[in-house]
Amino acid sequence: MKKYDKKKLNKIIIMGFLLITCILLTYYFHFILKTEIIFTHLFYLPIILASLWWGRKGIIIAVCLAVMLLFLDLIDPINEPIYLDLIRGLMFIVISITTSTLSEKRDQLEDKVAQRNKELQKANLKLQELDQLKSMFIASMSHELRTPLNSIIGFTGIILQGMSGEINQEQRKQLSLVKNSANHLLDLINDVIDISKIEADKVELYIQEFDLASLLQEVKNSFTVTAEEKGLQLFLQTPPVLLIESDERRTKQVLVNFISNALKFTDKGEIKITIVKKDKIAVISVRDSGIGMKKEDMGKLFQAFSRIIVPGRLTEGTGLGLYLSKKIADLLAGNITAESEYGKGSTFTLTLPLKR
């Protein structure tokens, strides 16, 4: 015996009830009251429902009802030409065909939607797998790469300090190159890890009160030797104290990136760092007298893996610094803007609320 689910069984019961009701009403009006006034509309509802529910199979019900209408007219004719009942029967069939066609198109659309949902589910599973791989990659980068790099940097520093014995000038030069390269690689790895965490919404902020003026003085001091080696003047203009509630390490990360870029693209002149307090906002600007940027290059500044190529100059890095800085500024409820004039220098500005 064929089994029906509850939904199909309910449809059959409703259709059976409607057909029996229509047939009884037909008998009552046709044979007892001798009128056919309701024939025009009597069977429309079961025909439409049957066509919607069973598609082409619903046409069979329309044909059966049309034949029954003509049969009743033949066995007990009333004062109206038979061709009118023939027209009504054809109307039943046309309505059924039209409705069943719409039903089939609806079913096809539902099938397409179901197929698309399956594809989306597969894509979602694939994205989850990729997210897991990304998490594994971050964990691997954090441990398998940073740990040996830190060891290289640490032991190279010990040798350079002479703690393991005297070294000659050539050895010191080569070891310095190793240490600088290791530091550069570690910075790149840290940038990739930070971006991955930010985009996965897994970054943790440590909001606390700190002196922004003191932090900027510390950052400026760390670049003093590099600036002197390039013959650049490094100025800092800041109030004596400016307390702010934010993530100190992340703020320092953005400022270091600003000053590092300024030193990289400035061959002569000066770099000026200023802090201005405006209402409840701290505005930190780093202005250089470097090579500047063309207008068509400004749109590339905060894009991932985007680097501005300068003729005759080696462009280092992965193009993640400003992209990461922009992401960090957004996390800190701040903003970054850039202004530049080709051949005259650039100004990068970080705005942060005094209380995040």
What's residue 180's pLDDT?
82
The H or E element spanning position 273 is strand 270-278
> Could you tell me which residues come within 8 angstroms of residue 352 by beta carbon, excluding any fewer than 6 positions away?
212, 244, 246, 251, 281, 282, 284, 329, 332, 333, 334
Convert the pLDDT of each residue in 41-90 to its tens digit. Answer: 666 667 777 776 776 776 777 777 777 766 666 665 555 565 566 666 66
Q: Of residues 201 and 168, which shows the higher confidence score?
A: 168
What gap in Å lies between CA 345 and CA 271, rounded to an integer?
10
What gap in Å lies between CA 337 and CA 327, rounded to an integer?
13
E strand segments, 34-114: none
List 333's β-bridge partners, or say none.
Answer: none
List 210's β-bridge partners, or say none.
Answer: 244
Convert the pLDDT of each residue in 257-311 to its tens digit. Answer: 999 889 988 989 999 999 999 989 999 999 999 888 888 878 778 877 666 666 5
Judge contact between 209 and 251, C-beta under 8 A: no
Comparing 191-195, 205-209, 214-218, 220-224, the range with the smallest average pLDDT is: 191-195
What gap in Å lies between CA 194 and CA 205, rounded to an integer?
12
What gap in Å lies between CA 105 and CA 101, rounded to an integer?
6
Structure tokens at 219: 């950052």
Encoded amino acid at 118, one letter: K
pTM to 2 decimal places: 0.58
What's residue 161's pLDDT?
86
The H or E element spanning position 199 is helix 169-199
- Write down the CATH number for the domain with range 208-353: 3.30.565.10
What gap in Å lies between CA 26 and CA 3, rounded to an integer?
33
Q: Is the pLDDT of residue 16 over 90?
A: no
Sign of CA dihedral 25, 31, 33, 39: positive
Convert the pLDDT of each residue in 139-194 to its tens digit. Answer: 666 667 778 888 888 888 888 888 878 888 888 888 888 888 888 788 778 877 78
